[in-house]
Amino acid sequence: MRIEAYSQVQQIYKPKQTARNQQVGASSHGSDCLQISTAGRDFQSAKSAVAAVPDVREDLVSSIKARIDNGTYQVDTSAFAEKLLTKMSEMR
């Protein structure tokens, strides 16, 4: 086995390999571009609108709390039962 033959072969292929690496490197320096679809933009605007709304409707809750504290809050049991049965039948 001749070692100098190996180095000669290596010298022949080395310039080609370097040129190929430079071409790959040149093409990888391009600019990236991001495009968001209209569905994505609609989702983002809906998400921000929901985030802006408070979790609790204080105007409604405060009046119910006041009636509970005063002892004047009454639950119509027949209406409650009717709504409960309606919801159960919808779930089936």
pLDDT reading at 16 higher than 80: no
User: Count of alpha carbons within 13 Å of 28, Cβ hemisphere only?
Assistant: 6
- Does this model's pTM top 0.85? My answer is no
The confidence score (pLDDT) of residue 14 equals 66
The confidence score (pLDDT) of residue 31 equals 84
The answer to whether position 39 is within a domain reads no
How far from 43 is each of 47, 50, 51, CA to CA, in Å?
Answer: 6, 11, 12
The confidence score (pLDDT) of residue 53 equals 87
The answer to whether position 17 is within a domain reads no
The answer to whether position 34 is within a domain reads no
**Contact by Cβ (8 Å): 39, 47:** no
The answer to whether position 72 is within a domain reads yes
The answer to whether position 90 is within a domain reads yes
d(C-alpha 72, C-alpha 57), whole Å:
21
Site of tokens 């430079």? 22
The answer to whether position 49 is within a domain reads no
User: Count of alpha carbons within 13 Å of 37, Cβ hemisphere only?
Assistant: 3
How many domains does the chain contain in total? 1
pLDDT reading at 17 higher than 60: no
The answer to whether position 15 is within a domain reads no
Average pLDDT, the chain: 81
Compare 25 and 47 and report the one with higher pLDDT.
47
The confidence score (pLDDT) of residue 77 equals 94
Q: What is the extent of the structural domain holding 85?
A: 56-92
The answer to whether position 66 is within a domain reads yes
